[in-house]
Amino acid sequence: MKKYKLTLLGLALMPIWVSAQLLPITDLPNTIVEHLDRTVNRNAERLQELKQQRLIEQQLQKTIAIKAQLLDPLVQLPNVLPIFDTRKQLVWNEVKVEQGHRAVEREWLILLSADQWQQVLEVVPVLSQYVQTRKSLDSLDLQLIKLQVPESLNNTQLLRQQLPELLAPYLSRNFIYQPQSDVMVPQVDAALVVNDKPEAMCQMPISLGMVDTAINPHHYAWPNAQENFALIQQHFLPAAIPTSYSHGTAVAGVLAGESDGLSPLLPSLTLYSAGAFYAQNEYQQGATLESILQALNWLVAQNNRVVNMSLTGPDNPVLSEVVTLLVAKEIILVAAAGNGGPAAAPLYPAAYDGVIAVTAVDDAKRLYRWANQGEYIDFAATGVKVLTTRADGSIGRESGTSMATPVVSAKVACLLALTPELTLAQVVQQLQQQAQDLGDPGKDNQYGYGLLTRPLKAGL
């Protein structure tokens, strides 16, 4: 029970307080009553406005929190993500592994020649029982062996102990790689039509390869004439896995889309699309290292000298070896620097030697706030709120280093169309001459050598 303390002052004032509470409201003048009514109504209306404003603010904060999570492709993915086929059968489990990376559960890849693989089996015959597939990478004269090992061997050090010393480095988990555009809930965009369409990068016929999701071939923004746009697609996923189209369609739209304010970078393009990504959820896609390597092998076999890779993932010896071999063949890989943020570690393949790493800026030439930074950054291009095609058949805006990468790929392809004998070093030198220096003078960790834009500058 509450206790109350009654003071002398309280006793003295009590009769006044009581009589005040019993005073009939009708005894007050009408003007005072009307004023009180207005005041009460205004206060009630203001209270209602504050409640509505608070609800709006709460909803806004909730939306911001969700989008902040979605900006990091790995935040909302569970530690174990089952991947099912169209029959709802489990194909594999995608799991979180060391250093926060993701990989296919207990799957490992070995990259060897046929003779080296035979040598491995002679030394460690037990490995043959773990083999899931053996796929030939003909363009590289190598074999890609996929193992599924028991939990007792599911460790880099343990597995390498099973291999001959010279061959042990060519081993990697079957890592998962991510596309590099913002993972955002689709929304309706205002003012999509742009009156002043930018020039093309060049008018010459161009052949270009890309590793990405599949591309929606029926989008209305693709030019109808075969000589203007030819799309050649090949998929590198198990046939029963549902096909993902969103990211690849957006990247292709930057290269070839022509409608509703879209102006193609390459108005005469043959695009070789190697589909390697599957849907992790409604907004995200992943690609296994195995699929990426098969995709690269196919693109090289189609005589593509420039390959756009708007994707990132972890460093590993298998991908590193393939990149080294492709660079030696003068295949030019143009890759997204990554959307990990200014303090993030380098991402791959962009950070490998011989790969052109691309970061993103907005129309005001300000660095994209989620762009990776570091010594490996080579060039910048517009990649924030870029108008492009979407897999659902619409036109919308996308952001990320993914959207900047095809600008540089297009410029490289145009340079090679003009002068096919250019080496990688010569291409980079010519790109430097075409770049607008941003940030600190010379090459820096934010913009690289500077900003590349359309059109191609001739005669440099």
What per-residue confidence (pLDDT) applies to 155?
92
pLDDT digit string, tens, across residues 292-336: 999 999 999 999 999 999 999 999 999 999 999 999 999 999 999
- Here the CATH number for the domain that contains residue 158 is 3.30.70
| Residue 348 clears pLDDT 60, i.e. is over it | yes
| Residue 66 clears pLDDT 80, i.e. is over it | no
The answer to whether residues 288 and 390 belong to one domain is yes
Domain for residue 441, yes or no?
no
What per-residue confidence (pLDDT) applies to 197?
79
The answer to whether residues 170 and 264 belong to one domain is no
Q: How many domains does the chain have?
A: 3
pLDDT digit string, tens, across residues 394-447: 999 999 999 999 999 999 999 999 999 999 999 999 999 999 999 999 999 999
Q: Quick one: pLDDT band at residue 184, thresholds 50, 70, 90?
A: very low
Q: What is the reported pTM? A: 0.82
What per-residue confidence (pLDDT) applies to 92?
96
| Residue 6 clears pLDDT 60, i.e. is over it | no
- Here the CATH number for the domain that contains residue 262 is 3.40.50.200
The answer to whether residues 289 and 388 belong to one domain is yes
For 196-214, what is the mean pLDDT?
94
The answer to whether residues 53 and 88 belong to one domain is no
The answer to whether residues 325 and 350 belong to one domain is yes
The answer to whether residues 293 and 151 belong to one domain is no
* Coil vs helix vs strand at 265: coil
The answer to whether residues 209 and 278 belong to one domain is yes
Domain for residue 70, yes or no?
no
Mean of the per-residue pLDDT values of the chain: 87
Q: Quick one: pLDDT band at residue 448, thresholds 50, 70, 90?
A: very high
In the chain, count H helices and then E strands: 9, 18
pLDDT digit string, tens, across residues 371-390: 999 999 999 999 999 999 99
- What is the Cα gyration radius of the chain? 30
Q: Quick one: pLDDT band at residue 68, thresholds 50, 70, 90?
A: very low
Tokens, residue 44: 């009630």
Domain for residue 394, yes or no?
yes
Domain for residue 344, yes or no?
yes
For 262-273, what is the mean pLDDT?
97
pLDDT digit string, tens, across residues 83-130: 999 999 999 999 999 999 999 999 999 999 999 999 889 988 988 999
| Residue 11 clears pLDDT 50, i.e. is over it | no
What per-residue confidence (pLDDT) applies to 33?
62
Give the residue numbers marked as catalytic: 212, 247, 402
Domain for residue 38, yes or no?
yes
Using CB atoms within 10 Å of the CB of residue 190, give its burial: 0 to 12 exposed, 13 to 18 middle, 19+ buried: exposed
Domain for residue 1, yes or no?
no
For 61-73, what is the mean pLDDT?
47
The answer to whether residues 245 and 347 belong to one domain is yes
| Residue 24 clears pLDDT 70, i.e. is over it | no
Can you give the residue range of the structural domain that contains 139? 80-176
The answer to whether residues 258 and 364 belong to one domain is yes
The answer to whether residues 319 and 391 belong to one domain is yes
Domain for residue 41, yes or no?
yes
User: What residues contact residue 189 under an 8 Å CB cut-off, 6+ apart?
Assistant: 395, 396, 397
The answer to whether residues 419 and 408 belong to one domain is yes
Written as one string, the DSSP assignment of 207-236 is: EEEEEES---TT-TTS-SSTTTEEEEEEE-
What per-residue confidence (pLDDT) applies to 312?
97
Residue that is last in its domain, among 176, 202, 220: 176
The answer to whether residues 298 and 385 belong to one domain is yes
| Residue 29 clears pLDDT 80, i.e. is over it | no
Domain for residue 455, yes or no?
no
